[in-house]
Amino acid sequence: MTDEKTIALVAGVLFLATLIRAVFGFGEALIAVPLLALIVPVEVAAPVAALASITVASIVVAQDWRSIHLRSAWRLVVASAFGIPLGLLRRRTVAEPVVKVVLALVILSFALYSLANRRPYALESDRPAWLFGFAAGVLGGAYGMNGPPLVVYGTLRRWSPEQFRATLQGYFLPGSLMVLFGYGISGLLTRRVGGYYAVSLMPILLAAFLGSFIHRRIHAERFRRYIQIFLVIIGIVLLAQAAHGWNAGASAQMLLHGRMG
C-alpha cells in the first residue's frame, strides 16, 4: 500500500468516525480503531484515534458547554477514575470475548426494550451516575469500552439531544486527555502518529462541524430512537468481535497443539 493511499484511508476513516461522534456523541471507538488497525499498526491507530477524539470533544464542549449536565458529568468522571484501576487489574483475569458477549447482551436487551416501549423506564435522579461511571471506568480500563454505560445512563435520564451529546463530550474530553498522557509516557506519540493526525485534521474538523449541523436538525424523540437503533448495531458489532476473538484464539490453540504434536 502506497503512502498516499494509506494517508487517504486514514483520513477517510477519521472523517467517518468523527461524523458519527459529532452527530450522536459516541460510537466512533467501534469504528476508528478497528478500521485504522487494518491500515496501520495498532500502536499508531490508537493514539491517532485518541487525538481525533480530543479534537471533536473540544469542539463540541466549546460549542455547547452550557448544555453539559454538570451534576451528572462530574459524578461520571470521578466514579470512572476509581473504576479504571480495577479494569486494568481485571483485564488479565476475564477474557475480552466474554466481556463483549455479556456487554452486547445487556446493550441489546436495553435497546430492544426501549424500542418496544413508548414510555420506557427513566431515571429521576443523578445519584445512579456513580454506578454507571464506575462501570464505564472498569470497561474503559480493561478493554477501552467505556462508552456503552454512559450512553445507557444518558438515555435513562431522558436528556435532550443537546444535553446528551454535550455531557458525553464533557466526560470524554478529560478521559481522552488522560489516555493520551498514558500514550505519551509509553512512547506511542511518535512523529508518524503526529503526521497522520496533521494530514487528517481538516477532514476531522469538517466532519465535526458537519455532524453538529446534522445534530441540531434531529428532533428530540427521533434522536432517542436513532440512539436506540445505534445501540442495537453496537451490540451486534460486539457479538461479531467476540466471535472473531474466539475464532482467533481457537486457531492459535490449534496451531500451538499442531506444533507440539
| CA distances in angstroms from 73 to 17, 145, 198, listed in the order given | 23, 18, 30
Q: Cell triple for residue 148?
A: 456503552
Tally Cβ neighbours within 10 Å of residue 190: 13
- What are the residue boundaries of the structural domains of the chain, listed by start? 1-69+164-218, 85-158+221-261
- The answer on pLDDT for 113 being more than 90 is no
- The answer on pLDDT for 250 being more than 70 is no
Q: Cell triple for residue 172?
A: 470524554
| Residue 180, CA atoms < 13 Å, CB-side half-sphere | 16
Tens of pLDDT along 168-210? 999 888 878 877 887 788 788 899 999 999 999 999 999 999 9
Tens of pLDDT along 141-170? 666 677 788 888 988 888 888 899 999 999
| CA distances in angstroms from 22 to 16, 200, 207, 255, listed in the order given | 10, 16, 7, 43
- The answer on pLDDT for 256 being more than 50 is no
pLDDT at residue number 46: 81
Distance (Å, whole) CA 149 – CA 87: 14
Q: For cell 466532519, what's the residue?
A: 207
Residue pair 137/79 in contact (Cβ under 8 Å)? The answer is: yes
pLDDT at residue number 75: 92
pLDDT at residue number 47: 86
Nearest to 207 by CA among 33, 10, 49, 11: 11
**Average pLDDT over every residue of 128-133:** 92
Exposure class string for 74-106: b at 16+ Cβ within 10 A, else e: bbbbebbbebbeebeebeeeeebbebbbebbee
Instruction: Kindly report the pTM of this predicted structure.
Output: 0.77
**Which residues, at least 6 apart from 218, have a Cβ–Cβ distance to it below 8 Å?**
23, 161, 226
Tens of pLDDT along 214-239? 998 888 888 888 888 888 888 888 88
- The answer on pLDDT for 261 being more than 60 is no
Q: Cell triple for residue 62?
A: 466549546
Nearest to 15 by CA among 55, 42, 46: 55
Q: For cell 462508552, what's the residue?
A: 147
Return mean pLDDT, the chain. Answer: 83
| CA distances in angstroms from 140 to 82, 106, 137, listed in the order given | 11, 17, 5
pLDDT at residue number 86: 80
Residues 138, 140, 146, CA angle at the centre, nearest 5°?
100
> 3-state SS of 103-145?
HHHHHHHHHHHHHHCCCCCCCCCCCCHHHHHHHHHHHHHHHCC
